[in-house]
Amino acid sequence: MQKLQQQMAAKAAEEAKAAAAANLKKGEAFLLANGKKEGVMTTKSGLQYRVVKKGDGASPLASDEVTVHYEGRLINNKVFDSSIKRGQPATFPVNGVIKGWTEALQLMKEGAEYELYIPAELAYGTRGAGQDIGPNEVLIFKVSLIKVKKAGE
């Protein structure tokens, strides 16, 4: 019984490694092509974004809290999370989310809407997240920055 469990664990690890390699390759190809599209900006970290609507309010710092509406999807367009579908915006600290979000939110102003293209290393990396986000997945988010609450307010 124990040997069977070890074999099953080894097989699962191999499958995860293969999925990670495949996702990395697909993600790199996606980001390479996406970065050439009109309006798509790429930061030094590799984060890509497109301004859908400029905002005119405050920009958050990493220590601030924000309220946003968002939809997250994979490069195959599968939606894995959406505050919009839930009908309830999300509120969280800017530095309490994945690196790609922390960086992108600080580029935005209240009222702005951006589309984010987040490389795996700025998202969940080789570990993935939950059932829907595999290892080395590039994530795409539509984010509307509704409100910035400055630290200490």
What would the DSSP string read from start to end of 84-98? HHHT--EEEEGGGS-
Token pair of 125 as six digits: 């990396």
How large a percentage of the chain has pLDDT more than 70? 99
Could you tell me which residue, 140 or 15, shows the higher pLDDT? 140
Contacts of residue 28, Cβ cutoff 8 Å, sequence gap at least 6: none
- The overall average pLDDT reported for the chain is 94
The per-residue pLDDT for 9 is: 79
Residue 59 has pLDDT above 80, yes or no: yes
Hey, which bits of 2-135 come out as E strands?
Answer: 40-42, 48-53, 65-74, 79-82, 90-93, 113-118
H-run or E-run covering 145 = strand 139-149
Q: How far apart are the C-alpha atoms of 84 and 63, rounded to whole Å? A: 25
The per-residue pLDDT for 6 is: 83
The per-residue pLDDT for 39 is: 98
The per-residue pLDDT for 152 is: 79
Residue 52 has pLDDT above 80, yes or no: yes
Q: Which residue has the tokens 């922390």?
A: 102
Q: How far apart are the C-alpha atoms of 18 and 34, rounded to whole Å? A: 24
pLDDT, average across residues 61-66: 97
pTM for this prediction: 0.91
pLDDT band at 30; cut points 50, 70, 90:
very high
CATH assignment of 2-149, given 3.40.430.10, 1.10.1740.10, 3.10.50.40, 3.40.50.360? 3.10.50.40
Q: Domain residue spans in the chain?
A: 2-149
Contacts of 76-84 with C-beta under 8 Å, sequence gap 24+, read: 78/132, 80/130, 80/132, 80/133, 81/132
The closest alpha carbon to 55, from 40, 67, 73, 43, belongs to 67
The per-residue pLDDT for 2 is: 79
